[in-house]
Amino acid sequence: MSIKSFWKGNVLNFYDGANNPEFRTGVWANCPTLAIAADPSLASVFFDDFHSQKSTKAADADIWVVVEDDGATGTNVVTDEVGGVYNHYCDGDDNDEAYLATTGESWLMATGKPLWFETKFTFTNSGTTAGVWCVGIANGGGAANTMQDTEAGPLASYDGFFFFKESGDTSISFETSVAGTQVTNAALDDFTSGTTYRLGVYYDGVTTVTPYIDDVAGTAHTMATNTSEGNIFFGVKSNGAEEYIAMDYIKCIQMR
């Protein structure tokens, strides 16, 4: 391990030069993590590492709400795996879906409130390119038809952002939205079944939202200030076979 320091955007940070050199240019590069550690009131910090089944049962922890339209064939469970991984299933009929959403809508793309978001997960297609997944922040995120039926994409009207893959696609898409106006990167990057991805978003507190895949920035979106708070969500949808998403962690920091 080789710990080095750097400055970016008037923020001092540290990174592991041997194991994580991308930190200097990735989604967290200008997040004032040291200042927040010294004074937690500076920001709202959310992190779920999925070490405990309580992380994923609203009745136990009141963190997440489980939304399933027709149950699930598989068992939603935190697996015996290093780092804590939660498998979330939908049933196998066409357009069956299952989501997890935070109980509170506590995040907003608002002026002067920069936000950093990241999740790490694996999705393995039930067929060659089958299955739908999504993750992001949106008002109404995790409700029924968060991903619309028959590969119709994310919610038609919402405030926030989505990463998603439609059934039949071999790419990761990214979308930002203010009410009914969306900007979409229909193929932000290639998607490979069974590969672990880190997807991130940086909102600069003005109008720019930048997506990241494995700490590499994609095309930034210009987005007007949102007016509706959103919740953090993720989920899967079937194209005729059982699907599940294996979540490693979700992290979000927003300045107060």
Extract the tokens encoding 86.
């939660």
Is pLDDT above 60 for 54?
no
The three state secondary structure string of 142-155 is CCCCCECCCCCCEC
What's the DSSP call for residue 141? T
- 154, 135 in Cβ contact below 8 A? no
pLDDT digits (tens, 9 = 90+) for 138-174: 999 999 999 999 889 999 999 999 999 999 999 999 9
Q: What is the mean pLDDT of residues 3-32?
A: 89
pLDDT digits (tens, 9 = 90+) for 68-124: 886 677 888 888 888 889 999 998 888 999 999 999 999 999 999 999 999 999 999
Give 140's contacts (C-beta < 8 A, 6+ positions apart): 146, 155, 158, 230
pLDDT interval class at 58 (50, 70, 90) = very low
Three-class secondary structure of residue 73 per DSSP? coil
- Give the separation between CA 114 and CA 202, rounded to whole angstroms: 8
Phi, psi (degrees; rounded to nearest 5) at 52: -125, 145
- Whole-model pTM: value is 0.94
Extract the tokens encoding 140.
């109404």
Which of residues 51 and 16 earns the better pLDDT score? 16
pLDDT digits (tens, 9 = 90+) for 187-231: 999 999 999 999 999 999 999 999 999 999 999 999 999 999 999
Tell me what pLDDT residue 69 has. Answer: 80
Tell me what pLDDT residue 59 has. Answer: 46
Q: Which helix (H) or strand (E) holds 61?
A: helix 58-61
